[in-house]
Amino acid sequence: MKYEDSASFVYGIAKRARKYYLGLTTITQDVQDFLSTDYGKAVLSNSSIQILLKQSPTEIDQIAEVFYLSQQEKQLLLSSDIGEGLFFAGQNHVAIKAIAAPFEHSSQAQTLRLSSLAPNRGLLIPPRTFLLK
Protein backbone atom coordinates (compact mmCIF):
# COMPACT_ATOMS: atom_id res chain seq x y z
CA MET A 1 0.00 0.00 0.00
CA LYS A 2 3.07 2.17 -0.41
CA TYR A 3 2.00 3.65 -3.74
CA GLU A 4 -1.43 5.20 -4.21
CA ASP A 5 -2.01 3.67 -7.67
CA SER A 6 -1.34 0.12 -6.48
CA ALA A 7 -3.31 0.70 -3.26
CA SER A 8 -6.27 1.91 -5.30
CA PHE A 9 -5.99 -1.17 -7.53
CA VAL A 10 -5.96 -3.60 -4.57
CA TYR A 11 -8.91 -1.76 -3.03
CA GLY A 12 -10.85 -2.02 -6.31
CA ILE A 13 -10.13 -5.74 -6.58
CA ALA A 14 -11.20 -6.28 -2.95
CA LYS A 15 -14.49 -4.48 -3.56
CA ARG A 16 -15.25 -6.23 -6.87
CA ALA A 17 -14.17 -9.72 -5.80
CA ARG A 18 -17.11 -10.18 -3.44
CA LYS A 19 -19.58 -9.46 -6.25
CA TYR A 20 -18.19 -12.44 -8.17
CA TYR A 21 -17.82 -14.71 -5.11
CA LEU A 22 -14.05 -14.46 -5.27
CA GLY A 23 -11.59 -14.25 -2.43
CA LEU A 24 -8.59 -11.98 -2.19
CA THR A 25 -5.65 -12.82 0.03
CA THR A 26 -3.41 -9.99 1.14
CA ILE A 27 -0.38 -10.63 3.32
CA THR A 28 2.03 -8.26 4.99
CA GLN A 29 4.71 -8.50 7.65
CA ASP A 30 3.85 -5.00 8.80
CA VAL A 31 0.19 -4.20 9.47
CA GLN A 32 1.17 -0.53 9.24
CA ASP A 33 1.25 -1.06 5.47
CA PHE A 34 -2.54 -1.21 5.63
CA LEU A 35 -3.21 1.10 8.58
CA SER A 36 -1.23 4.01 7.13
CA THR A 37 -3.54 4.61 4.13
CA ASP A 38 -7.28 5.01 3.63
CA TYR A 39 -7.22 2.34 0.91
CA GLY A 40 -5.44 -0.06 3.24
CA LYS A 41 -7.93 0.56 6.05
CA ALA A 42 -10.79 -0.05 3.63
CA VAL A 43 -9.27 -3.35 2.46
CA LEU A 44 -8.90 -4.45 6.09
CA SER A 45 -12.44 -3.46 6.99
CA ASN A 46 -13.81 -5.37 3.98
CA SER A 47 -11.91 -8.53 4.92
CA SER A 48 -14.15 -11.23 6.37
CA ILE A 49 -11.23 -13.20 7.79
CA GLN A 50 -7.94 -11.99 9.26
CA ILE A 51 -5.01 -13.66 10.95
CA LEU A 52 -2.55 -11.84 13.18
CA LEU A 53 0.69 -13.51 14.21
CA LYS A 54 3.37 -12.26 16.60
CA GLN A 55 3.51 -8.46 16.80
CA SER A 56 6.13 -6.02 17.99
CA PRO A 57 5.62 -4.06 21.21
CA THR A 58 5.90 -0.76 19.32
CA GLU A 59 2.82 -1.50 17.21
CA ILE A 60 0.63 -3.59 19.51
CA ASP A 61 -1.38 -0.65 20.91
CA GLN A 62 -2.46 0.58 17.48
CA ILE A 63 -3.25 -2.98 16.37
CA ALA A 64 -5.25 -3.51 19.57
CA GLU A 65 -7.26 -0.38 18.85
CA VAL A 66 -8.02 -1.34 15.25
CA PHE A 67 -8.85 -4.99 15.98
CA TYR A 68 -10.51 -4.40 19.39
CA LEU A 69 -8.13 -6.72 21.22
CA SER A 70 -8.45 -7.59 24.88
CA GLN A 71 -5.45 -7.34 27.19
CA GLN A 72 -5.05 -11.13 27.01
CA GLU A 73 -5.10 -11.06 23.20
CA LYS A 74 -2.46 -8.33 23.17
CA GLN A 75 -0.28 -10.41 25.46
CA LEU A 76 -0.80 -13.49 23.28
CA LEU A 77 0.37 -11.60 20.17
CA LEU A 78 3.41 -10.25 21.99
CA SER A 79 4.49 -13.66 23.25
CA SER A 80 3.44 -15.90 20.33
CA ASP A 81 5.76 -18.56 19.03
CA ILE A 82 6.16 -19.42 15.32
CA GLY A 83 2.74 -20.15 13.79
CA GLU A 84 0.75 -18.90 16.79
CA GLY A 85 -1.63 -15.97 16.73
CA LEU A 86 -5.25 -14.88 16.50
CA PHE A 87 -7.83 -15.82 13.88
CA PHE A 88 -10.66 -13.37 13.23
CA ALA A 89 -13.96 -14.23 11.57
CA GLY A 90 -16.39 -11.36 11.86
CA GLN A 91 -16.47 -10.25 15.50
CA ASN A 92 -15.09 -13.58 16.77
CA HIS A 93 -11.44 -13.94 17.81
CA VAL A 94 -9.81 -17.27 18.60
CA ALA A 95 -6.22 -18.29 19.32
CA ILE A 96 -4.64 -20.54 16.69
CA LYS A 97 -1.49 -22.54 16.17
CA ALA A 98 -0.57 -23.44 12.60
CA ILE A 99 1.13 -26.82 12.41
CA ALA A 100 3.21 -27.78 9.38
CA ALA A 101 2.12 -30.76 7.32
CA PRO A 102 4.51 -33.74 7.31
CA PHE A 103 5.77 -32.99 3.78
CA GLU A 104 6.77 -29.49 4.92
CA HIS A 105 9.33 -31.06 7.23
CA SER A 106 11.46 -32.26 4.32
CA SER A 107 15.08 -31.18 4.26
CA GLN A 108 14.40 -28.72 1.44
CA ALA A 109 11.55 -27.04 3.30
CA GLN A 110 13.71 -26.88 6.44
CA THR A 111 16.56 -25.33 4.46
CA LEU A 112 14.26 -22.69 3.01
CA ARG A 113 12.70 -21.89 6.37
CA LEU A 114 15.98 -21.74 8.29
CA SER A 115 17.74 -19.68 5.66
CA SER A 116 14.84 -17.23 5.44
CA LEU A 117 15.08 -16.70 9.21
CA ALA A 118 18.78 -15.91 8.88
CA PRO A 119 19.31 -14.85 5.25
CA ASN A 120 22.91 -13.79 5.81
CA ARG A 121 23.86 -17.25 7.03
CA GLY A 122 22.77 -19.40 4.15
CA LEU A 123 21.31 -19.71 0.72
CA LEU A 124 17.68 -18.79 0.28
CA ILE A 125 17.26 -21.68 -2.16
CA PRO A 126 19.38 -24.83 -1.83
CA PRO A 127 21.93 -25.26 -4.63
CA ARG A 128 20.81 -27.26 -7.63
CA THR A 129 22.74 -28.94 -10.41
CA PHE A 130 21.72 -28.14 -13.96
CA LEU A 131 22.92 -30.14 -16.93
CA LEU A 132 23.33 -28.14 -20.11
CA LYS A 133 23.33 -29.79 -23.53
What is the C-alpha separation between 10 and 20, in angstroms, rounded?
A: 16
Claim to verify: residue 53 and residue 118 sit in the same structural domain? no
Residues 47 and 78 in one domain: yes
Do both 29 and 10 map to the same domain? yes
Is the pTM here over 0.85, yes or no? no
- From the number of C-beta atoms within 10 Å of its C-beta (0-12, 13-18, 19+), residue 55 rates as buried
pLDDT digits (tens, 9 = 90+) for 96-126: 998 877 776 665 555 555 555 544 444 444 4
Q: State pLDDT tens for residues 50-92.
A: 999 999 999 899 999 988 999 999 999 999 998 899 999 888 8
Host domain of residue 89: 4-97
Regarding whether 57 and 110 lie in a shared domain, the answer is no
Considering the domain architecture, whether residues 46 and 111 belong to the same structural domain is answered as: no
Whether 24 and 76 share a structural domain: yes
Task: Report whether 108 contacts 115 (CB < 8 A).
Answer: no
Whether residue 34 is found in the same domain as residue 83: yes
State the DSSP code for 82.
T
